[in-house]
Structure 1
Amino acid sequence: MVVVTGASSGIGRASALAFAARGDRLVLAARGAADLAAVAAACGNDPVTVTADVTRRDDVEAVAAAALQRYGRIDVWVDSAAVMAYGKFEDVPAEVFDRVVTTDLLGPANVARVALRRFRAQDGGTLILVSSLLARITVPYVSAYTTAKWGARALTRTLRQETRDAPDIHVCMVAPGSVDTPIYASAANYAGFVGRPPPPVDSPERVAARIVRLADHPRAEVSVGLANRVIELGYTLLPPVYNALVTPLMRNGGLSRRRAEPGEGNVFRSEPRVEGGPGRFTRAQVSAVAVAATALVTLGVRRLRR
């Protein structure tokens, strides 16, 4: 059976639907009861639902207890719960920054602690943590999210090292690039404009398909995104060029032109979620991003040839 935390929207929702489509038994958890009920209804097959916040250890324990009460074991646990805040570091209130890090780093830690104890007790299981391309690179205006994802990646690797004595316990990480989910529009915002996924953008269903594949064939880490490896290469090999390009690319690709008043978004509390990003790109914006990416690769090749 499969537990999905963060199941009410985005990648978590798509994963729940993908597992349900092949007949898996499910326990679904998220902060928003109404959105969670809607996902459960779409899944069918009578999944267990638990209103839970991954930042609260007792809530995570309650999710596991519900799974064990109904099914007696947990075979796969997928954690995709996350929140985001936009704005320059000094403009984001400290309490908002701290809450994003708590949700996106300590939340997965809470899930991992409960899941691994259960897997030890039953001699096997697969933990899949949904990370991000931003666990390997940095971009401006999302410092809290990026900080948390780097920390969660370190945690994931440590957990893999500590479970080497248990060959039937698997700790996996899936790292998507831009995905068309509600997290951007729902985010806390101190940047002045509503966030959006910069191109190229994948669907949550594509990420969910990789998660289902990981459940069947565990691997340490899977990257999902057409441009992920190119961006990582530029970040690693060409820091000056990357740093010169990333801010204008983020302003034009990662922020829409829809103005946003400063606010906490859904960082501290659940809010109704609308699937899909807040805006789509004009042909000129996509072309600008493509030109900049091409310039980055060209400069890199020239430098490597010297």
Structure 2
Amino acid sequence: MHIPGTAVVAGGTAGVGRATVDALIAEGYRVGVLARGRARLAEVAARHGERVMTIPCDVGEARDVSRAGAAVEEALGPIVVWVNCAMLTSFSPFEAMAPQEFDRIVKTTFLGTVNGTRAALSLMKRRGEGRIVNVGSGLAYRPVPFQSAYCASKHAIKGFTESIRSELIREGSEITLGMVQLPALDTPQFDWARNRLDRKPQPAPPIYRPELAARAVLKAVREGSRELFVGRSVPQLVLGTMVLPGWLDRKMADAGGELQMSDRPEPGGRPDNIDAPVEGMASDAHGSYGDRALDGGLVLDADLARKAVFLGLPVAALGLGLLLGRALAEPGRRRRG
């Protein structure tokens, strides 16, 4: 199924969501954009005009998402694509987070995906077809310290998606439910996420431009992909978790925090987007690490990647150890120094 029609992007005014909106419109889709920030929604509407419909919506509220989906379909036509990529995170030790903060991240990042999937299915099942793409992360397989709520949410998205996919297959449905597992990207989340680390957060290298993620989402839409790995770090993390989980636990304890911290001081007191959108920041796919971001990267079919690993596991494990050891050793040395 690749017939441009109506798509919805939940979390579509910044980062991966904004890049995905632009990519879908370039493909000929009309796009409903859901997000909390009214000012950024207005910017998207001004840029794309009649090709978009913008709706203020907290994706953590199931009723609001359902109403938004119905409104988009009434105004733009039958929804054939729904992309869930709204997210929140906090760079913080778990014990420093209030329960409400943890809950808010999970509500947006995980339950937002649940609510979007529910709304999409309720509309798509009337016609018996459609593409739902849930944006995940390599952190669904290998968590990092200081992002416990976000990592938990991405793990939950993976389990939820796989469960519902089996239900759809059991029903003989033509609706596909896929995941796109992303690497570190240069998006605005690092400029407005809550941060309790000593320095400003950064995407852990290697860093990619958000357009790579958007290309992967469109590939999942065109091909009905089950799961895609994006960038070289995601398959490395997945394989590492399969064969060397204890070693990775220790390496993340030693250097995982440093990989997420830039050399920029964190003055503290800046606004963050946990409780409400940060005002005064434009709708943009990109963050402040564009000078280090790579334009291109791998987009791998995850099932084919696993088969390749199974057939060449000993060699792959050795290569993985060398790659991860090189990537993690330098931050660890800096910290001990």
Aligned position for 2:58 = 53
Query: 1:195·1:278 contact (CA, 8 Å) conserved in 2?
Result: no
Q: Deviations over 1:34-63 (max 9, x none)?
A: 112212333344311111110112220222
Aligned to 2:268: 261
Q: Does the 8 A contact of 1:174 with 1:223 survive in 2?
A: yes
Secondary structure at the counterpart of residue 27 of structure 1 = strand
Question: Matches of 1:117 and 1:109 in 2, distance apart?
Answer: 12
Aligned to 2:134: 129
**Helix, strand or coil: the match of 2:55?**
strand
Tell me the percent identity: 29
The answer as to whether partners of 1:26 and 1:47 remain within 8 angstroms in 2 is yes
SS of 2:79's equivalent in the other structure is coil
Q: Residue 86 of structure 1 contacts residue 141 of structure 1 at CA under 8 Å; is this kept in 2?
A: yes
CA shift digits 1:145-166 (9 cap, x unpaired) = 0011111110000110010123
Aligned to 1:119: 124
Is contact 1:134-1:149 (8 Å) kept? Answer: yes
Q: Superposition pairs for residues 34-53 of structure 1, below 5 Å?
A: 34-53=39-58
- State how far apart, in whole Å, the 2-side matches of 1:114 and 1:130 are: 16
The correspondence of residues 95-174 of structure 1 with structure 2, limited to 5 A, is 95-164=100-169, 165-174=171-180
Indicate the SS of the match to 1:245.
helix
Alignment of 1:1-306 (within 5 A): 1-164=6-169, 165-257=171-263, 258-261=265-268, 265-272=272-279, 273=281, 275=284, 276-279=286-289, 293-295=324-326
Aligned residue-pair number:
291
Q: Is the 8 A contact 2:251 2:328 kept in 1?
A: no
1:226-284 Cα offsets, whole Å, 9 max, x none, are 121122222332233212221343332211232142677201111144543445799xx
**In structure 2, C-alpha distance between the alignment counterparts of 1:207 and 1:171, rounded to whole Å:** 17
Aligned residues of 2:10 and 2:85 also touching (Cα < 8 A) = yes
Structure 2: distance between partners of 1:245 and 1:149 = 21
How far apart, in 1, do the equivalents of 2:260 and 2:216 lie?
Answer: 24
Tell me the secondary structure at the aligned position of residue 75 of structure 1: strand
**Does structure 1 conserve the Cα–Cα contact (< 8 Å) formed by 2:90 and 2:194?**
yes
Greater mean deviation of Cα atoms: 190-199 or 233-242: 233-242
Deviates more, 1:174-183 or 1:60-69: 60-69
SS for the counterpart of 1:173 is strand
Measure, in 2, the Cα distance between the counterparts of 1:169 and 1:240.
38
Deviation of residue 119 (structure 1)? 1.3
SS class of match (2:51): coil
CA distance, structure 2, for counterparts of residue 197 and residue 121 of structure 1: 41
- State the 1:72 CA deviation: 3.3
SS in 1 for 2:238: helix
User: Cα deviations across residues 118-143 of structure 1 (Å, max 9, x unaligned)?
Assistant: 11112111111111111111110000
Q: Match for 1:194: what amino acid? A: K
Alignment partners' CA distance in 2, 1:35 and 1:249: 36
Q: State the alpha-carbon separation in 1 of the partners of residues 12 and 327 from structure 2.
A: 37
SS at match of 2:324: helix
CA distance in 2 between counterparts of 1:150 and 1:240 reads: 18
So what's the TM-score if we normalise by structure 1?
Answer: 0.88
Q: Give the root-mean-square deviation of aligned CA atoms.
A: 2.4
Q: How many angstroms apart in 2 are the aligned matches of 1:212 and 1:102?
A: 26
